[in-house]
Amino acid sequence: MPVVRTCPHCQTKNRIPAKHLADTGRCGACKADLAPQSEPLAVDTALFDEVVGQSTVPVLVDFWAAWCGPCRMAAPEVAKTASSMAGRAIVLKVDTEANPQLSARYNVRGIPNFAVFRDGKLVKQQAGLVDSAQMNSWLSAA
């Protein structure tokens, strides 16, 4: 299930396979460069499994919910991490209300909850509010 990204030059929608989200690609229409994914990507279970399973770079997952105050406080830090680690990591957001099966799979009891995956395997998981520097550190270590 590819991710659809819009070319900033010609506005054409491009389908990007999960394993190439961290790569610089080319627009299918105008051939302009498409930068690596630099924003947190909201995912469902199927896309989560695909990205985590196929990614060639570490993946940070933010388990969150709209009603959670600390989750809203973490959102700008998560976005900053996605931007600063573009090309070197992928950042996913999992809404625990919409995807309770993923929360259960990773024993998420408190949110925000952050998990780092490398080569499809969980390498770090921590609940609680952290800043972008800490997230970058986890991703660099992975």
Q: Is 30 among the catalytic positions?
A: no
Instruction: Spot the catalytic one: 10, 27, 30, 68.
Output: 68
Helix (H) or strand (E) holding 103: helix 100-105
Give CA separation, 91 vs 11, 28, 31, in Å.
Answer: 23, 24, 26
**Is residue 66 a contact partner of residue 28, using CB atoms and an 8 Å limit?**
no
CA distance 136 to 9: 30
Taking a C-beta distance cutoff of 8 angstroms, is the pair 110, 125 a contact?
no
Is 27 annotated as catalytic? no
Provide the annotated active-site residues: 68, 71
